[in-house]
Structure 1
Amino acid sequence: MQKHLSGNCLFLSGSSSVFAAVFYRILGMRKPKFILLFILLVLAEVQLKAQAPNQGSIKGSLADDQKNALPYATVILKNAEDSSIYRTVLSNDKGVFSITPVAEGNYVLEISMLSFEKVKKNIAVDQTRPSIDLGVITLKNAANMLKDVTIKADIPLTEHQLDKTVVNIGQNLTTEGSTVWEVLRKLPGVQVTPDGQITLNGKPGANVLIDGKTTYLSSEDLAGLLGGMQASGIQRIELMSNPSSKYDAAGTAGIINIVKKKNTKEGINGSINAGAGQGHYGRYNGGFTFSYKNEHINLFVNNTYTYNKRFSSSEVTSDISGPNNNLLTEQASTNHSNSTNRNYRPTLGLDIYLSKRSTLTLSGTAGFGSAGSGLISGMDLLDSLRNKVNHIAYSSTLHDNPFNYTAGIQLAHQLDTAGRSFTVNADHSEYRNFPLQTNYNMLNDAAGNFVSETNNLLVQHRQLDIYATKADYVQPLKNKGNFEAGIKSSYVKANNNNTAYDLTGGQQVIDPVQSDYTVNSENINAAYVNLNKSWSNLSAEAGLRAEQTVTKGKERLTGETVNLNYLQLFPSLFLNDKINEQNSLTLRLGRRTDRPDYHELVPFRRPQTATLFFQGNPNLKPQVSWHGELAWNFQQALTLTLNYDIVSDYIRTFPFLDTNKTTITRRPVNVQKAHSWEIDLAYAKKLLSWWSTDNTLAFYRNAFNGQAAGYSLDNAGLVSLQFNTNNSFRISSVLSAECDWEYDSKRQFVNSTYGAYSVLDLGLKRSLFAGKGSLTLNANNILQSEDRNAIDRNNGLYQVTNLHFYSRSVSLNFAYRFGSGKTAKTKVNSGSEDEQKRAGS
């Protein structure tokens, strides 16, 4: 990496033809004139600006009324014509500042410092006066002006930015006392399928990050992790349908980034919270936070406790047909399941301010507790005439004591006051699960007479170790521009040891056929460059990310191995045109991938019910997608977005009928081609002084074609609808209310169709103790309308499932804040602030 801007520009200039050729090849377009033109214009602009003659300088010193020097005041030089920022510096410890070089032109110099009145000066730099010495500038004390002033600002629930939608969940009353998993299911454009897959804007394959860090977890383990996290500890959730090259390329549907709260106040501060609720079962939560911040350190400690028990039921009918579509057998079952989770999540964070420009951050989070589930199922086996032949009584219990932790260290350093900066991160995470599952089957004939029984035990040990290091560099360019570059390397190792035992003669005997021991590893090495530039009405950003993936897998009992090594390129492009004060257009283009979950690569066949199994596929390929969207925004309130995606090697889990024509095994496979379109309409506005509304309406369709699992697929899909509305009401200065409603219509993914459902939540909040405390009453899913059906079709199999979710509940939550509540001192943010937020700093 070059150390100077001129070096960077020469490198970019010399490589512009190569960079353009890469885009030409990746996009697969015969005449990508507009993209090539844009890239060349940006590179030319960077080089011209870097080589432009900057001759002048501006200097001076700052003092108060008593002639005391004022160190570390903010000095901003703006272009007089459009008020754009030309350069920002700080005064040194003696109050002296210097801005150099400065091109010829007219400027406005703004000087500001906490507790002092702002100073503005008009300055002209030309050939007759290239160097300007302003001498001593006196700032007047503004302490009297600041007395007894309280500033309040309404933070919107959702914010639409250039590359993402930000949901400030702390503004939503109905999230009080909820887990992050429950909040995730309420976000606009987010859905969770019955099998735990997270979809974003109607497309599966969303990558969930926590503080900008990939979780690398299966859908089942991710649900367990987020189900143990309280929403009260989350600041915001960022939804990115087309992330920039700075982010990992994983997630064809985009990225969901969960950003935790962090202390920003000086002195000693903290909070306590507790809540209880009642649904089908009881639920409880509690926790505390403590922080201490001064000019040297920022210490943050918290711990949360969550207890939740859920109940659901289903009816499943499976018709098994022969080659001529004639019915062979039918299976009809009724299932009742419950799950219990008890979680503790302590967190420790420490910022050490090594200097005015350097911060060392240490962080650690642990999660431990217990988890359990139970399933009771009764299944009738019918013949081709739907006469009852047998009955299977099945029961299963699972107990687990999961444990996980994440530890990280980060160094953020601002190289100069102009904004050049770099950050370096190193993280290690570990997830351990020890599920102990018992399965019991009893087979009776049609008259209820005992025929046979099986009783087995499945002992499992799953361990996931994650190591990641990354470095990011930011180089500000003149006139609202940035050059960014970074590298990252991650290594993940997954151990899955499953030992099955049969109860024979009163003893547990190992069943080698049902046992499995698999070790998988994945190493991803990545590098990216990113350029962004703003003009008076146009903003542009272009980036390229390269990722090398090395995957190895071995089944130790059979000796079967998997070895993959491939390189992928992921370009991204953003354009925003501010047409006028009321209208703007945004274009987003990008390429992304979705690698299989580690459990999807393990060929172990795990029982789920008496006749249903899940088995991984070691030959799964990563899916790759091209994403494009065009958005129009009107008055920062109304947004219309058009999306289109093209996906190859789409990953989907199919139900397969086994050769015995009785049992069913679900396996993940690659679908050759998929494409989807979507139309989104979002409207958010404060309609009245006491009423704010936030709404999203989306229409979308997913279509699939090509080869999948050995047969031809031609599925045009369904046009589906999703609607979210949030309305908040300020009843008085201490009382507020909220109403959330979500509706999802019938939708389809390959050979699976899910029925419509809706959810209505209400919340009421009362402020206490002069705003330091609050009491919140929530009613969730009050209409008990989250039930839906699912239909799966495959060769020789037609399966209908009716799902019942007993999630209606009422909860009462109390929160109280304590401490000095002093606002932190003014601090200069480095040009890498966004990267620091992503890295959890």
Structure 2
Amino acid sequence: MKIILIIACVVAGPVAFAQKISVKGQLVDSVQSPLPSATVLILNVKDSSLVNFGLTNQTGEFEVKNLTRQEYLFKVSYVGYSTITISFSASANEGVANLGIIQMRPEVKQLGEVVVEAERAPVVVKRDTIEFNATSFKTKDNAVVEDLLKKLPGIEVDNDGTIRAQGEQVQRVTVDGKTFFGNDPKLATRNLPADAIDKVQVFDKKSDQATFTGIDDGQKEKTINLSLKEEKRNAAFGTLQGGYGTDERFQLRASLNRFKKDQQISFLGMGNNVNDRGFGIDDYMSFTGGATRMAGGGRMRLEFNSDNQSGIPLNFGGRINGIMTNYAGGMNVNQSFSAKSDLNASYFYNQLEHDLNQTTERINYRANGDLRYHQNSKQLNTNVNHRVNLTLDQKLDSMNSIKFTNSFTYNESDANESSIGENYDSKSELENETDRESYAQGATSNLASSLLWRHKFSKKGRTLSSTLQFGVSRSDRDGTQSSTTQFYGAQPETLSLMQENLQRTEYFSYGVTINYTEPLGGRKYIEGNYSFRQNNNDVDRQVFDLISGESIFNNALSNQYTSAYQYHRGGVNFRVSRSNYNLVVGAGLQQTYLDGELKLLDAVITKSYQNFLPVMRFNYDFSNSKHFELEYETSVQEPTIQQLQPVVDNSDPLNLSVGNPNLRPAYEHNWRINFGTFNPMTFVSFFAVLETSYTRNAITTAQNFNEQQQRISQPVNVKDSREAFCDVSLSFPIEKIGSRVSVSANAQQVIAASVVDEVESDIAQTTIGGRVRYDYRYKDIFDLGLSTNISRQNTDYDFNEQANQSYVNQTYFAEANVSFAKHYQMSSSFEYLVYTSETTGETQSIPFLNASFSRFILKAKTGEIRLSVNNILDQKLGISQTADINFYQKQQANSLGRYFMVSFIYALNRQLNPMGMRPRGGMIRIMR
């Protein structure tokens, strides 16, 4: 880290170390009472331009540092008081200009609006909201919001667009508080221009029910709101981009927005074959088997409660392996018909084609000898998706309102895969091998609707609300597979399969939730709630063996299953609300019934679960910029229908999976402590979060091997599991060299049980990591960003100490932008990924280097011609590493190589800033 900071200081250029002075004093009113939170301005005597600024503290005192020795103007304005301007300078022998006590007089004459330009604080904490001033974090011209988020302290953005704020994944991004293309954050962050954003606000969005009643129900989403600049709120703006390069690479993008007072209309369009996605691909991943088939590079993880037989190898750095071509487009509309009626509607279409070649090396750790697995696979998958969202929020009168929410998706996919897999014993002798091909196609449709009715009584604080929910989905999928599997050892055997399968799944659900709140006086409230939900499933899977041209029904692999889950839950919450703290204490009782029928097996599954669910939430505001939060809640994780079905899935003959009808629900306790503070005088921010959980009857995946060394995965209950996570981040400026440093550290430990060959044993996984980012900015000419992210993970197995694993993943990143000769810009980025297995001594590193050169044309620099070189070092390999309950896995896959591209970018509405310059500061409006 020292090396990075030294490089940063060198690159930052010469810094003047002339003797500095400070100015300080105290601001009071006519009765000598202090005036806090006033903005004091230090201006140049010659032209009254802003030199520096500061804020008064709670006692009215201020101090502005790092001023060169010369004469200045001191200016302060405060609502309701006359503006004061004072000329000052420090004598030759003094380092401080003390203005003493400055008394402000009430304003007695009505004045018009006064606009004072001032640099705003980079970060402000407002109760539960962290607000970043976008103009304090420079991005290159024609950057998107994602580029801006990468600059903000406490926020991390993976290369796949996943956003984490203060250690939590961001689930929703809104624009001026309104929904933008449903719930896909990438559609906003990867398509809206960064220079349209005034503020970035990070907070936990509460449910509509909690917002209405004021009783926290624990349902919240980590949310980012993008507050637009004032001039963008009544204008058309956006970006058009087209590029073509070597190897027939192309990239097209359009983002057009027309915002007015009561209307927001946005259009997005894109197409490329350079692995650049501006949207989420959850439907595609769901069809193709998820991230197991999208594997990238390797943050290691432990998979305790997934029905995925092999865990999910996360992509370290978030890169997509393989070659992906995508086309997409859609429209989003927010319309306010009146003060009582708001409508949000959106439609989005996307088409993906993914070509992936992958090699997998896996070590299955066992007490009686490890098993090594090797696989080569090729995939070609396509996906077409339609999404429609519609929300109507209507106030019927002063006492009643309704909110009608609808979401519809339709997805068509097909997947082709071929693979060769081999298993070797601890002596490197071949145990078995398989050669298989598979094809699957299908279509899925989903509709989810809810109607929320809210009523306020004449007595303040008394409310009644009810939510009706309805959902229906249908999935039709068919496929074929053929495989030849050779088993060696004492009893050699060859197994050939040629099968076709058909599966139809229907899902139907409905429910109602009722909430009533009653004020008790003294800002105390009590809430009663009751909810009912019915989920019905109907699954029909038919497998046929193709023998001598005939289709023969395979009863053992087929499945016809119906189920009905019914939930009843009642609860009571008590709340105390004060100006600086809130307390919620409550409990609920949940009764669950499951009735299922396995028709082909002539078996019935009947379950009944009852759980007591206490909850407690407390938050305390020490000040407007210092906040503390403590939460405790309980939840139940019930087995899925797939986990309960005792039917074998043989899509991979060497890796079979089967359900478990004897599964019990997992009961989880969760604690969370969150603390955040920001100093408006020093611009130092600090955030910390601590989370811990304890799960009884935890659901994990048992791994058993038969005599032919086939791996059989099955979900089972274990006694318990424990998890603790901590994340802290600190950000501070270095004003002397125009820089900002952000430091974060995190630690996680998971302790649970693994089941291997029917033997249960403990497993512990500990991950410790940290991130450091250094940013330097010199006017609008040069900016530099340096960062490093390092994590180390240890996985310890009780059943076999020799299987213990230790990994270190490192990412080093540097980016720089230089603007020169008014119309030119150069940008470059370098990312260096290092994967190290301390257990095996193996280290692999991958460098990525990108560069671009731009020439701005047209009036106000609205046009840009860009020449870019991507992956200059031509690294065509992607890496992933995974540590799961009993195995270590490494995957390598094809990746996008080097290509050159020439692009033209046109920025709309740049004419509102005719000089083509980024604002140096914000506007503070003082009305008198």
Q: Shorter-chain TM-score: which interval?
A: 0.5 to 0.7
Hey, what's the Cα distance between the residues in 2 that align with 1:769 and 1:654? 65
Tell me which of 489, 495, 499 is aligned to 2:542.
Answer: 499
- Correspondent of 2:416 among 359, 365, 374: 374
Matches within 5 A, 1:358-397: 358-382=400-424, 385-388=427-430, 391-397=433-439
Q: In the aligned structure 2, how far is the partner of 1:431 from the partner of 1:153?
A: 49
**Per the alignment, do residues 633 and 271 of structure 1 end up closer, same or farther by CA in structure 2, a change over 3 Å counting?**
closer
Per the alignment, residue 524 of structure 1 pairs with: 567
Output the CA distance in 1 between the equivalents of 2:188 and 2:882: 30
1:229 shift after superposition = 7.7
User: Residue type of the partner of 2:730?
Assistant: Y
1:246-293: CA deviation from partner (whole Å, max 9, x where unpaired): 7888xxxx9756799999974333011223441322233322112321
Matched, 1:553 2:596: yes
Give the 3-state SS of the residue equivalent to 1:424 in structure 2.
strand
Counterpart in 1 of 2:504?
461
CA RMSD of aligned residues (A): 5.6
1:704 pairs with 2:780: no
Query: Which range moved further: 407-416 or 803-812?
Result: 803-812
What is the rounded CA distance, in whole Å, between the counterparts of 1:173 and 1:498 in structure 2?
46
CA displacement at 1:681 relative to structure 2: 1.0
Whether 1:436 aligns to 2:505 is no
| CA distance in structure 1 between the aligned counterparts of 2:412 and 2:762, rounded to whole angstroms | 45
User: Where does residue 889 of structure 2 map in the other structure?
Assistant: 801
Q: Is the 8 Å Cα contact of residues 181 and 226 (structure 1) preserved in structure 2? A: no
Matching residue of 1:619? 662
- Paired with 1:384 and 1:403, the residues of 2 have a C-alpha distance of 47
1:533 maps to a residue whose letter is V
Residues 703 and 757, structure 2, Cα contact 8 Å, conserved in 1: no
The aligned residue for residue 264 of structure 2 is 269
- Cα distance in structure 1, aligned partners of 2:191 and 2:580: 38
Higher alpha-carbon deviation: 489-498 or 292-301: 292-301
Task: Write the letter of the residue equivalent to 1:173.
Answer: D
Cα gap change, 1:331/1:807 in structure 2, threshold over 3 Å: closer, same or farther? closer
Mean CA deviation greater in 766-775 or 739-748: 766-775
Deviation for aligned residue 1:386: 3.0
1:662 is aligned to: 709
**For the residues of structure 1 that align with 2:708 and 2:158, how far apart are their CA atoms?**
37
Unaligned runs of 5+ in 2: 1-35, 37-78, 81-107, 135-143, 151-156, 175-182, 193-199, 228-232, 234-258, 276-322, 680-684, 818-826, 828-853, 910-928
- Cα distance in 2 between the residues matched to 1:696 and 1:609: 42
Counterpart residue number, 1:316: 361
CA distance in 2, matches of 1:747, 1:330: 21
User: 1:145 deviation in Å?
Assistant: 4.5
Q: Which moved more, 1:486-495 or 1:803-812?
A: 803-812
With over 3 angstroms needed to count, the CA separation of the structure-2 counterparts of 1:452 and 1:469, relative to structure 1, is closer
Matched, 1:676 2:723: yes
Residues 444-459 of structure 1: pairs in structure 2 closer than 5 A: 453-459=496-502
Moved more, 240-249 or 411-420: 240-249
8 Å contact from structure 1 (residues 379, 393) kept in 2:
yes
Structure 1 contact 368–403 (Cα < 8 Å) conserved: yes
What is the aligned counterpart of 2:455 among 390, 413, 428? Answer: 413
Partner of 2:164: 187
Shifted more, 801-810 versus 431-440: the winner is 801-810
Instruction: Tell me the residue number matched to 1:76.
Output: none
The alignment's TM-score, normalised by the length of structure 1, stands at: 0.62
Q: Conserved in 2, the CA contact under 8 Å of 1:671 and 1:708?
A: no
Secondary structure at 1:599 match in 2: helix
**1:404 to partner: Cα distance:** 1.1
SS of the counterpart of 1:325? coil
Partner of 2:642: helix, strand, or coil?
helix
SS in 2 for 1:745: strand
Residue 456 of structure 1, CA deviation? 0.9
Cα offsets for 1:647-703 (capped at 9, x unmatched): 211111222213x43321211111212223333213356777997776642112111
Is 1:348 aligned to 2:390, yes or no? yes
Q: Distance in 1 between matches of 2:474 and 2:742?
A: 40
Residue equivalent to 1:649: 697
- Counterpart amino acid of residue 302 in structure 1: S
Q: Distance in 2 between matches of 1:773 and 1:272?
A: 20
Say which is worse superposed, 361-370 or 720-729, in terms of deviation: 720-729
* Paired position in structure 2 for 1:20: none
Residues 434, 654 of structure 2: 8 Å contact kept: no
Mapped to 2, the partners of 1:316 and 1:400 lie a distance apart of 30
Q: Which deviates the most, 513-522 or 429-438?
A: 429-438
Maintained 8 Å contact 1:606/1:613: yes
Asked if 1:297 is matched to 2:297, the reply is: no
Matches within 5 A, 1:602-617: 602-617=645-660
Task: Name the CA shift for 1:384/1:267 in 2 (closer, same or farther; >3 Å).
Answer: closer
Pairwise CA distance, 1:559: 2.2
User: Percent identity between the aligned chains?
Assistant: 13
Give, in whole Å, the separation in 1 of the partners of 2:352 and 2:434: 30
- TM-score, normalisation: structure 2: 0.56
Q: Secondary structure at the match of 2:667?
A: strand
Summarize the alignment of residues 552-571 of structure 1 with structure 2, pairs less than 5 Å apart: 552-571=595-614
Query: How much has 1:565 moved relative to structure 2?
Result: 1.9
Tell me how far apart the structure 1 counterparts of residues 481 and 348 of structure 2 sit (CA, whole Å).
33
Q: Given that residues 669 and 708 in structure 1 are in contact (C-alpha distance below 8 angstroms), is that contact kept between their aligned partners in structure 2? A: no
| 1:73 equivalent in structure 2 | none
User: Can you list the C-alpha shifts for 1:432-455, whole angstroms capped at 9, x where unaligned?
Assistant: 222223211134799xx9966321
How has the CA–CA distance of structure 1 residues 333 and 785 changed in structure 2, closer, same or farther, with 3 Å as cutoff?
closer
Tell me the number of residue pairs that the alignment of Structure 1 and Structure 2 aligns: 640
Once the 2 structures are TM-superposed, how far is the Cα of residue 735 of structure 1 from its aligned partner?
11
For residues 756 and 398 of structure 1, do their structure 2 counterparts lie closer, same or farther at Cα, with a shift above 3 Å needed? farther
Q: Does 1:543 find its partner at 2:543?
A: no
Alignment of 1:69-468 (within 5 A): 145=113, 172-173=146-147, 185-188=162-165, 266-277=261-272, 278-279=274-275, 280-295=323-338, 296-310=340-354, 311=356, 313-317=358-362, 325=368, 331-382=373-424, 385-388=427-430, 391-416=433-458, 418-443=460-485, 453-468=496-511
- The residue number in structure 2 matching 1:112 is none
In the alignment, which residue of structure 2 is the partner of 1:787? 879
SS at match of 1:600: helix
Equivalent pair of 2:513/2:532 in contact (CA under 8 Å): yes
Separation (CA, whole Å) in 1 of partners of 2:204 and 2:650: 35
Structure 1 residue 558: Cα displacement: 0.8
Query: How far apart, CA to CA, are the structure 2 residues paired with 1:406 and 1:233?
Result: 27
SS of the residue aligned with 2:719? strand
* 3-state SS in 1 of match to 2:660: coil
SS of 2:718's equivalent in the other structure is: strand
SS at match of 1:610: coil
1:126 matched residue in structure 2: none
Counterpart amino acid of residue 530 in structure 1:
N
> What pairs with 1:662-811 in structure 2 (closer than 5 Å)?
662-683=709-730, 696-704=744-752, 711-715=759-763, 717-723=764-770, 744-746=791-793, 748=795, 757=809, 787-791=879-883, 799-804=887-892
Distance of 2:881 and 2:566 partners within structure 1: 39
- SS at 2:556's partner residue? helix
Secondary structure of the structure 2 residue equivalent to 1:618: coil
Structure 2 CA distance for partners of 1:576 and 1:259, relative to 1, 3 Å: closer
